[in-house]
Amino acid sequence: MTAVTGTFRNGVNTETMFATLDLIKAQPELARFQFRASNRWIDGAYNRSTIKGFYAAGGEDASRSEAFELDAGEPAILLGTDTGANPAEYLLHALAACLTTSIVYVAAARKVELTSVESTLTGDMDVRGALGVDDEPRNGFQQIRVALQVTGNAPAEKLREVVERGKARSAVYDMVTNGVPVAVEVATD
Amino acid sequence: MTAVTGTFRNGVNTETMFATLDLIKAQPELARFQFRASNRWIDGAYNRSTIKGFYAAGGEDASRSEAFELDAGEPAILLGTDTGANPAEYLLHALAACLTTSIVYVAAARKVELTSVESTLTGDMDVRGALGVDDEPRNGFQQIRVALQVTGNAPAEKLREVVERGKARSAVYDMVTNGVPVAVEVATD
């Protein structure tokens, strides 16, 4: 038990975590990762992404035996049949999941034992943009609000520092707030 | 059969689509939507979002009987146990799904019958950023490449126009390329 509680904090193996950080500091080329998703249209607003392989630490990862399959859809009011969460809701999930994991990892590194991390995200959209009815409203969310609740064995001030650092290191928070260059190549045969 | 083939194109009810567009043109206040996701930390990199309710067209939507539950995780090399796609992969899925649906809807409006829409998305990340090893690389993807293949009963030029218009109207493409203001509120009790 001592070994386990000594190595794992918040479900994160901190020994492995610090060894990984040391390795990447020593060999920065190992930090080059590539993630992928393949999507296929099924019908109407129904489409599915398959996610499995990725490149990490100098080679193609082979640790996943099964692919993750993610179904997207739209509710009836947006002309779908609710075959899955819609793409904008998936973006909210991506942001929530990344903030949560970043906070949990930072807490593990800083010896803070968390008891809960919960968040509710809301995104406001004027669908005239995406539906092409009006050029003025943007297509995406005008803003996203994140209500985060974090509890653990540390004073409120320390927990807030952990959240701030988690936010400052979150990959998806960076992408959603700052944007990413996207290059689209189209083939028609 | 005539009625069905006359009304549905690419699995989209075009009669309903044009009626929706007319309604929103006449009453722009109906275009105010709000989507939501609630996330809860489970252990380590494992967390889950629950997505159900949303606000649309002047009221809270009640059409969904079940919530969508989305599990996130990280592979072993990023200190998780692969409990789900990781947050950055979910962002790729959100982008792929939104581009696909936008293309399908635009094609339906423009009388183009599609036979396939497939895409592969890749995102390059230097994980020194998100892991806090180095301040220089950004946390998120440096860039995302989308390889889209679209086929249907229209000349290549027309298919490319449909893709361009779909891209120009996609909510997630807008958000990922341009960014969105995100406000985070933190509670610690």
| Residue B87 banded pLDDT, cuts 50, 70, 90 | very high
Among B68, B77, B124, the residue with its CB nearest the CB of A85 is B68
Q: Which residues of A touch B59 (CB under 8 A)?
A: none
The answer to whether the beta carbons of residues A3 and A15 sit under 8 Å apart is no
Quote the pTM value.
0.97
| Whole-number pLDDT of residue A142 | 98
Confirm or reject contact between A26 and chain B (CB < 8 A).
no
What integer pLDDT is reported at residue B189 of this predicted model?
86
CB A72 within 8 A of CB A83: yes
Q: A50 touching B, CB under 8 A?
A: no
pLDDT digits (tens, 9 = 90+) for B22-54: 999 999 999 999 999 999 999 999 999 999 999
A170 touches chain B (CB under 8 A): yes
> pLDDT exceeding 70 applies to what percent of chain A?
97
A177:B180 CB<8 A: yes
C-alpha distances out from residue B165 to A45, A62, A130, A138, B22, Å: 16, 38, 10, 14, 19
CA triplet A25, A30, A31: central angle to 5 degrees? 75
The answer to whether B86 contacts A35, with C-beta atoms less than 8 Å apart, is yes
**Partners of residue A163 in chain B, C-beta under 8 Å:** 184, 186
What average pLDDT does this structure show over B82-107?
98
Residue B178 and residue A138: Cβ atoms within 8 Å?
Answer: yes
Q: In Å, how far is A27's CA from the nearest CA of chain B?
A: 11
Mean pLDDT, rounded, for A106-112: 97
Q: What is the ipTM of this complex?
A: 0.97
Residue of A105, A124, A121 lying closest to B185 (CA atoms): A121
Residue B104 to residue B109: CA distance in whole angstroms = 9
Average pLDDT, chain B: 95
Transcribe B49-67 into DSSP letters: EEE---EETTEE----SS-
Per-residue confidence (pLDDT) for residue A135, from 0 to 100: 86
Residues of chain B with Cβ-Cβ distance to A44 below 8 Å are: 10-12, 104
Q: Does B18 touch chain A (CB under 8 A)?
A: no
N- to C-terminal Cα separation, chain A: 59
Q: Residue B128 carries which side chain, given as an amino acid letter?
A: R
Please write the tens of the pLDDT for every residue from A121-153: 999 999 999 999 988 999 999 999 999 999 999
Contacts of B134 (CB under 8 A, 6+ apart): A28, A31, B128
